Amino acid sequence: MRDVAVIGIGMTQFGELWGKSIKDIFVEAASKAIKNAGVDHIDSMYVGSMSSGLFVGQEHLGAVLADYLGQNPIPATRVESACASGGAAFRAAYFEVASGASDIVLAGGVEKMTDGADVTDALATAADQEYEVYQGVTFPGLYAMIANAHMNQYGTTREQLAAIAVKNHRNGANNPNAQFRNPVTLEQVMNSTLVADPLRLLDCSPVSDGGAAVILCSMDIAKKFTATIIKIKGTSQASDTIALHSRKSLTTLNSVVTAAQKAYKMAGVTPNDINFAEVHDCFTIAEAVVYEDLGFCEKGCGGPAAEEGRTAIDGKTPLNTSGGLKSKGHPVGATGIAQIIELYEQLTGQAGKRQVKNAHIGLAQNMGGSGASCVINILEAL
Amino acid sequence: MRDVAVIGIGMTQFGELWGKSIKDIFVEAASKAIKNAGVDHIDSMYVGSMSSGLFVGQEHLGAVLADYLGQNPIPATRVESACASGGAAFRAAYFEVASGASDIVLAGGVEKMTDGADVTDALATAADQEYEVYQGVTFPGLYAMIANAHMNQYGTTREQLAAIAVKNHRNGANNPNAQFRNPVTLEQVMNSTLVADPLRLLDCSPVSDGGAAVILCSMDIAKKFTATIIKIKGTSQASDTIALHSRKSLTTLNSVVTAAQKAYKMAGVTPNDINFAEVHDCFTIAEAVVYEDLGFCEKGCGGPAAEEGRTAIDGKTPLNTSGGLKSKGHPVGATGIAQIIELYEQLTGQAGKRQVKNAHIGLAQNMGGSGASCVINILEAL
């Protein structure tokens, strides 16, 4: 298997992009990535998108976007794993380069969520339609159940969850592409509108439009384009039961545990070697649980870690320096690729006021549904 | 790049499967494939599905189906390229095995189209929503434009198109999994209801439910499981403009021409070496155009070839021995995998009354939209 590197990145502003179509958004992100990489062509492309059919009435998105990007006749394929679609597209591109079939491949992600669809209903198609959604539960409700169980089992507090939102908004304030660049206080989170007890509005990632793209290539080509090689050191993916009710525990995400073990093994590292991570904080409780399941600490410490500053930019393991899904925004198909972009910016020292000191190895964890899919990628600056 | 083989196949009956959900259908096909291959595990799985969101309100299909197949925690990803979703899923599985990352991977496809959705509207999301569909054109109309242009440019006749439907129904009558096992006459096709001039009802593939799955593995593992190795000799994919109006010609599908050139090159063969092919006859005209664009003859001969029997089972290049999309049925996400299954059955001499003599090398051509995506796979019996 050939080594693979990331050599270029591009993304749009995340937010409510009323003036731009899904095509405009993707073409902007992909064009930036191609220009940033400095390549004169791409061999193929993958696009992560959760539900362009339900959101904007357009399937066949790979072909549509290749056309509007002016890239015919290259192969163009959409990859979908709900909110982990971006991570899954990245892995598809990785395999194509690693196999030797292609040298330079674009992995992108895009979602246009604000254009009229019933967003909560569309997102709920990532849960078990038959046994969860038809009974009336949507994702805020599912993650609220996880939060209640975590509070009950480990004593996680409402304040600790709020501390995660406060941290991510603080980070996002320094990210020019973030949807929300306003810091929030603990009191604001605690007093925001109740969505699904105990989760409040400021525990929830927003509805967003946005696109992101990266260029992957073989290691020998990467060396021609850049001095600082960002190598894909580990990549993994795992699944879990689609419905929460089928799981033995609500407080451990098995797909995260399994994918982490595989990614660490492939990369030859332990959690202690990870200098920073982007994780899938669709709700504050998700960041707490994922932090634990990635092995950064024992079960139950996710809440205290945020409260005590261990996950802050100057903490032991900075989490979501980009602002995370909470502050940066969560155009679902683009999120997994945007995580890779934050890793790239940190590893190449381009993260500005968000820069983590001594950032050599970063991890991105992207999740679908209530954890039925998990994709993990570990990148290293050589 | 490692050599990859297909070692097991499984599919459901294609048709109106009122008693089965999308989960039931996929699990049946995938279970058959796993049993047929004789493997005790799979490392990961890809599922081709065009629009499970619009058809049955369920996205995140990879994770859903891995769960119901009892395969957690393996990676499970949905791949979408409209009606070429099955072919694209097959390629994704191919890259994962070829790279060395996994040894045994399932590639499947499924669609449940008869459960209440407005099927024509849902299928139309594979065309350019903004510039084609919003103006009132759907796929029968798009292919009718291609048919009219082909008739005008090459003198293709109504009778020649009908001959394609007659041949495919004749073949499908011998396929136990086909949706329509009734032969039809030239007169029946010519007198069937007009859908979009010149295309009539019996020129159009039907609305279908169905699932299909195959098991891919590395060559060294394949040798442990079977004496007759079915090797993936060539694989390719190409894109074209999403909208017909952007093309220089309506009568040549550039994605087919490009993908064919790449697949032949990778396989080290010419069209003359292909003993038989499954092609994407979503409408009769599509089979005629694809036959030409695959290089089996000069442009314009697609109609006469069917009329003169050159594409019959005992002809020079048998096409759609399975019955094709026309007679076997077209559950869109499953079609690309079902084509691979027909290749496998022919190459291993299991095609019964449909058996092609001296079937050593077969080609499968799977297409999305009006040819904006094309996937070609060439398989060989070693």
* Predicted interface score ipTM higher than 0.90: yes
Tokens of A82: 């709900």
- Residues A316-326 have a mean pLDDT of 98
* Residue A155's pLDDT band (cuts 50, 70, 90): very high
Catalytic center residues of A: 83, 330
A89 part of contact set with chain B, CB < 8 Å = no
B185 part of contact set with chain A, CB < 8 Å = no
Is A73 close to B236, i.e. CB distance below 8 A?
no
pLDDT at B117: 77
DSSP E strand boundaries for B173-318: 194-196, 199-200, 209-218, 230-239, 276-278
Q: Which of B364, B356, B362, B284 is nearest to B326 (CA)?
A: B284
- Which residues of chain A does B60 touch, with a Cβ-Cβ cutoff of 8 Å? 50, 80-82, 125-127, 242, 368-369, 372-373
Residue B321 φ then ψ, to 5°: -65, -20
pLDDT at A93: 98
Is B240 close to A95, i.e. CB distance below 8 A?
no
Tokens 């679902």 belong to which residue? A332
Q: Is B320 left (phi over 0), alpha (psi -120 to 50) or beta?
A: left
- The mean of the pLDDT values for chain A is 97
From the list B41, B83, B245, B282, the catalytic residue is: B83
Q: Let me know if A360 is exposed, middle or buried by CB neighbors in 10 A (0-12, 13-18, 19+).
A: middle
Rounded to 10 degrees, the C-alpha dihedral A209/A63/A235/A149 comes to 40
Residues 6+ apart with CB under 8 A from A139: A120, A123, A124, A126, A127, A282, A283, A369, A370
Task: Write out pLDDT tens, residues A178-201.
Answer: 999 999 999 999 999 999 999 999
pLDDT at B101: 97
Is A73 close to B129, i.e. CB distance below 8 A?
no
By Cβ distance, the residue of B60, B236, B373 closest to A82 is: B60
Is A78 close to B74, i.e. CB distance below 8 A?
no
Give catalytic status of residue B83 as yes or no: yes
Task: Write out pLDDT tens, residues A29-50.
Answer: 999 999 999 999 999 999 999 9
Kindly report the nearest CA distance between residue A117 and chain B, in angstroms: 12
At B327, the amino acid letter reads: S
Kindly report the nearest CA distance between residue A255 and chain B, in angstroms: 6
A226 part of contact set with chain B, CB < 8 Å = no
pLDDT by residue for chain B (382 residues), tens only, comes to 999 999 999 999 999 999 999 999 999 999 999 999 999 999 999 999 999 999 999 999 999 999 999 999 999 999 999 999 999 999 999 999 999 999 999 999 999 999 877 898 999 999 999 899 999 999 999 999 999 999 999 999 999 999 999 999 999 999 999 999 999 999 999 999 999 999 999 999 999 999 999 999 999 999 999 888 999 999 999 999 999 999 999 999 999 999 999 999 999 999 999 999 999 999 999 999 999 999 999 999 999 999 999 999 999 999 999 999 999 999 999 999 999 999 999 999 999 999 999 999 999 999 999 999 999 999 999 9
Question: Between residues 245 and 264 of chain A, which touch chain B (CB distance below 8 Å)?
Answer: 246, 254-255, 258
Rounded Cα distance between B51 and B57, Å, is 9
At A375, the amino acid letter reads: V
Is A239 close to B95, i.e. CB distance below 8 A?
no
CB atoms within 10 A of CB A98: 25
pLDDT at B226: 87
Is A62 close to B373, i.e. CB distance below 8 A?
yes
Residue B204 φ then ψ, to 5°: -105, 140
How far are the Cα atoms of A192, A205, A289, B307 from residue B188, in angstroms, in the given order? 67, 58, 63, 16
Query: SS in 3 state form for chain A?
Result: CCCEEEEEEEECCCECCCCCCHHHHHHHHHHHHHHHHCCCCCCEEEEECCCHHHHHCCCCHHHHHHHHCCCCCCCEEEEEECECHHHHHHHHHHHHHHCCCCCEEEEEEEEECCCCCCHHHHHHCCCCCCCCHHHCCCHHHHHHHHHHHHHHHHCCCHHHHHHHHHHHHHHHCCCCCCCCCCCCCHHHHHHCCEEECCEEHHHECCCCEEEEEEEEEEHHHHHHHCCCCEEEEEEEEEECCCCHHHCCCCCCCHHHHHHHHHHHHHHCCCHHHCCEEECCCCEHHHHHHHHHHCCCCCCCCHHHHHHCCCCCCCCCCCECCCCHHHHHCCCHHHHHHHHHHHHHHHHCCCCHHHCCCCCCEEEEEEEECCCCEEEEEEEEEC
By Cβ distance, the residue of A62, A81, A238 closest to B81 is: A62
B62 part of contact set with chain A, CB < 8 Å = yes
- Which residues of chain A does B80 touch, with a Cβ-Cβ cutoff of 8 Å? 59-62, 77-80
Task: Write out pLDDT tens, residues B33-51.
Answer: 999 999 999 999 999 999 9
What is the CA angle B279-B7-A76, rounded to 5?
A: 45
Nearest-Cα residue of chain A relative to residue B61: A81
Is B254 close to A73, i.e. CB distance below 8 A?
yes
Task: Write out pLDDT tens, residues A223-237.
Answer: 999 888 999 999 999
Q: Which of A264, A267, A296, A262 is nearest to A279 (CA)?
A: A296
Is A238 close to B74, i.e. CB distance below 8 A?
yes
At A246, the amino acid letter reads: S
pLDDT over threshold 80, residue A116: no
Q: Which of B255, B284, B293, B276 is nearest to B375 (CA)?
A: B255
From the list B150, B169, B280, B330, the catalytic residue is: B330
- Which residues of chain B does A77 touch, with a Cβ-Cβ cutoff of 8 Å? 79-81, 88, 91-92, 237, 373
Least confident of A82-91, A157-166, A221-230: A221-230
Rounded Cα distance between A205 and A172, Å, is 12
Is A78 close to B80, i.e. CB distance below 8 A?
yes
B111 part of contact set with chain A, CB < 8 Å = no
Nearest-Cα residue of chain B relative to residue A82: B60
Tokens of A340: 């890779």
pLDDT at B115: 86
Q: Let me know if B41 is exposed, middle or buried by CB neighbors in 10 A (0-12, 13-18, 19+).
A: exposed
Global pTM exceeds 0.95:
yes
How far are the Cα atoms of A275, A331, A349 from residue A358, in angstroms, in the given order? 7, 30, 9
Nearest-Cα residue of chain B relative to residue A253: B73
Is B80 close to A79, i.e. CB distance below 8 A?
yes
Rounded Cα distance between A332 and A88, Å, is 12
pLDDT at B116: 73
